[in-house]
Chain A
Amino acid sequence: MSHLKTAMITALLSATALTASPLMAKDLRIALQSDADVLDPDQSRTFVGRIVYASLCDKLVDITPDLEIIPQLATSWTTSDDGTSITMDLREGVVFHDGTPFNAEAVAANIERSQTMDESRRKSELKSITSTEVTGEYQIKLNLAGADATLLAQLADRAGMMVSPTEAAAAGADFGLNPVCSGPFSFTERVAQDKIVLTKFGDYWNADAINFDSVTFLPIPDTTVRLANLQSGDIDMLERLAATDLGQAEADASIVVDSAVSLGYQGITFNIANGEKGDNPWGNDKRLRQALSYAIDREAINQVVFEGAFAAGNQSFPPTSPWYNADFPVPARDVEKAKALLAEAGYADGIDLEVQVPNTTVPLQLMQVVQSMASDVGINMTITSKEFATLLADQSAGDYTASQIGWSGRVDPDGNNHQFVTTDGGINDSKFSDPKVDELMNAARTAPTVAERKALYDEAMVIMLDELPRLFLYHQKWIWAYNDSMKGFTPYPDGMIRLEGVTWEE
């Protein structure tokens, strides 16, 4: 009996050994900084939500680490000569997790959902599409109100994520409770604030590149605890390692650290003309804003607050971005110039400035450093810390003089600028208005080539750096730390975790 058993087990084991691939498939556990919001690409808004989508939902197009647009569900596309339509050829043989086939009809239904569903947060991103035409089972034509150079970049994010039209029609606004997409993993389970579990989708069009049976996302808000979990082997990877924990992570031989400069920025937004409070010296005189800018040593901020891990910045793009205006590198600190500008503006004896700051550690530390730098030139800065929802409400209502706030960043340069600085921009909380900037920003939306667009942004940047409705300080880096058994991970500036081609080798 026991002999038989042993023999059977031996046979079984050798059979497994023969059939098993050299790479052990496993459950990948990834720690996120916070819990995702609703898992519906049309409704969601959080960064961590997008990290989950990178495994759950395929998009029409994707980006390379250098921000070039590459095929994903759309295999190729052509823009009409006048720029008013884009025709896309779609990947064949793709199915959604519920078995619904992916085709041009599905794309049309998705765009309609993003544009018309009441709860959709994607309306402004797809505003330029006036209609869709299904020109073949796997071909779709998007008709545009006018040339739109930013559209493809939108389709490389949530606006281009394809959800199953069958499930979307059945679930309506409740789609997010059981999301059905066509990505490499399908939705299995979610326990709020605990975990989101996805399972490998066998019928994925690129299933060979996926080497994990499942992936579990665990929100762990405390950065020290996130790292402790990685060190103890309870998780395999974490996103957004704190700069202050870098040393500890790098000292651990079993942990790999990777990073990429983000697409976003952090800085100070001034109230130029938003309500009564816009009528103050800081809103009225650009020389004061310039003086503050000269008072700041941006590299020192990076060293002091972020242990040198992030990137100092002075524009709405990081210096590593192809869109950065290289004629204006990150300026050195110039205390004399700052004092001269203050004196010129009539404040030789100093001036007060109240800055509102989110009440979390990093922004507070950042502004304390800026505060001490500003005091050297005679700017007496007070820091008012507010809980984020309050800060945002006050900023939107114009109840502020200056606000420390950032932007997570968009693939297309338009996303980091247009809505902040054009006269009718949706989140222009400065109420900054300059006809020339409006003209340049609008032209950059429709200009057909990258070179022409770059020239327009370069020109607009000159005005923005002179006027300084937003004063840029630094660019965050996405820092990932993971077990050294994980191979083939590529850092992207959008901060996403793409698991295609990633393997696990014990």
Chain B
Amino acid sequence: MLSFLFRRILIALPTILLISIFVFALQKILPGDPLLVLAGEERDPETLAFLREKYRLNDPIWMQYLAWVGNALQGDLGISLRTNQPVTELMAQKLPVTIQLAVMSMIFALVIGIPAGILSAVKKGTATDYVANIVALSGLSIPNFWLGIMLILLVSVKWQLLPASGYVPLSEDFWLSIKTMLMPSFVLGTALAATLMRHTRSSMLTVLSADYVRTARAKGLVERVVILKHALRNALTPIVTLTALLFGELVAGAVLTEQIFTIPGFGKLVVDAVFNRDYAVVQGIVLVTAVGFIFMNLFADAMYYVLNPRLRGQ
């Protein structure tokens, strides 16, 4: 098990390096000069020259990259061109926000998606199946920003039940924090639930037609036991991978949702940073997100290992 994980981590390292090179190069290809925006409306030439020097923008790109990697290896991801805050500090502020949003969204997705998937597989071809499918399809099709604004107008403005937007840290006020996050995580969660539901359904359908399920039924087991104990367990393995991957996506930032609900997470940070050509911030976020994504992949692999005894022999 350990050597298996170790191998996976070794494979991940070059991936991270490649990603960082790729993002660095992409940012430089983007048209537009960040300093023209940064130097202020007057664009004073002296200030421009100084800033170019300060942020090493006169150096060749490979030198800029090497300097960045050198600092990054020492834990210094540079400072934001826009606010002067260290990138590591910015991310330390955002990470808990994004993780809370991701976890809560995932809970919504799992609680809605998996039972709906099971139900529509078991009741395949019935009205229940069609309704579940229509709901899932709507979840996928309704744009997050529209659903978000509608929820705000209804739940916050009209009924005044939940805060309209913003973020309160868990440590400051636990319940208020949860309440503030309810709508955005619901919006995100429903979209993911649709994906999960579809996968659970097809995976369950495959398993339900397997020989051992027929055997279980032939043994005279109650249908509930057949489905939950025999079928579901096996059907869930691909769902675990999917969940881990979706979670990685969530950490990468739910850009639109964060924008609508003004949640100061990764998504909002990276969008603002791209528009302001805040190179160091974009670079830092992509690095951390890539690591997060790879970690979630690893986690999925490890879960496979745990769930599927057949792998352990290898």
Q: Hey, which bits of chain A sit against chain B, CB under 8 A?
A: 35, 37-38, 40, 43, 45, 118-121, 123-125, 173-174, 176-177, 191-194, 218-222, 224-225, 228-229, 231-234, 386-394, 396, 407-408, 419, 426-427
Contact = CB atoms under 8 A, between A and B. Distances in A.
A125 B40 CA distance: 12
B165 A229 contact: yes
Interface of B: 30-34, 36-47, 50-51, 54, 80, 82-85, 90, 93-94, 149, 152-153, 156-157, 160, 163-167, 259-262, 264, 268-269, 272, 275-277
Contact of B39 (A121, A222, A232, A387): A121
Contact of B46 (A123, A219, A391, A396): A123
Contacts of B153: 228
B44 to A, nearest CB: 5
B50 to A, nearest CB: 5
Given A121-B47, A173-B84, A389 B40 contact: no
Contacts of B160: 232-233
Given A121-B47, A392-B32, A225 B272 contact: no
B83 to A, nearest CB: 5
Contacts of A37: 82-83
A392 B36 contact: yes
Given A173-B84, A225-B262, A232-B164, A389 B36 contact: yes
Given A37-B83, A390-B31, A45 B163 contact: no
Contact of A419 (B42, B51, B93): B42
Contacts, number: 140
B275 A222 contact: no
Contact of A396 (B40, B43, B85): B43
A35 B83 CA distance: 10
B47 A192 contact: no
B83 A218 contact: no
Contacts of B164: 225, 228-229, 232, 234
Nearest to B162: A232
Contacts of A229: 156, 164-166
Contacts of B46: 123
Contacts of A121: 39-40, 42, 44, 47
Contact of A45 (B33, B41, B50): B41
B260 A231 contact: no
Contact of B41 (A38, A228, A232, A427): A427
Given A121-B39, A390-B31, A426-B42, A218 B166 contact: yes
Nearest to B37: A389
B260 A222 contact: yes
A234 B165 contact: yes
Nearest to B264: A194
B156 A234 contact: yes
B83 A124 contact: no
B42 A392 contact: no
Contacts of A228: 149, 152-153, 156-157, 164-165
Contacts of A233: 160
B40 A45 contact: yes
B83 A120 contact: no
19 contacts: A38-B83, A45-B38, A176-B84, A191-B93, A192-B83, A192-B93, A192-B269, A194-B167, A221-B259, A222-B149, A225-B165, A232-B156, A232-B160, A387-B32, A389-B277, A391-B32, A392-B36, A426-B45, A427-B42
B44 A426 contact: yes
Contacts of A119: 47, 50-51, 54
Contacts of B36: 389, 392-393, 396
Contact of B84 (A45, A174, A225, A419): A174
A177 B93 CA distance: 14
Contacts of B45: 426
Given A232-B160, A234-B156, A396-B36, A193 B259 contact: no
Contact of B85 (A192, A220, A225, A387): A192
Given A124-B44, A177-B84, A390-B31, A118 B264 contact: no
Chain A CB within 10 A, most for which of B36, B260, B272, B275 = B36
A488 B82 CA distance: 34
A426 B43 contact: yes
A38 B90 CA distance: 13
Contacts of A40: 84
Contacts of B163: 232, 234
A216 to B, nearest CB: 10
Nearest to A193: B264
Contact of A220 (B32, B43, B149, B165): B165
A84 to B, nearest CB: 24
Given A387-B32, A426-B44, A231 B269 contact: no
A234 B276 CA distance: 29
Contacts of A393: 31-33, 36
B84 A38 contact: yes
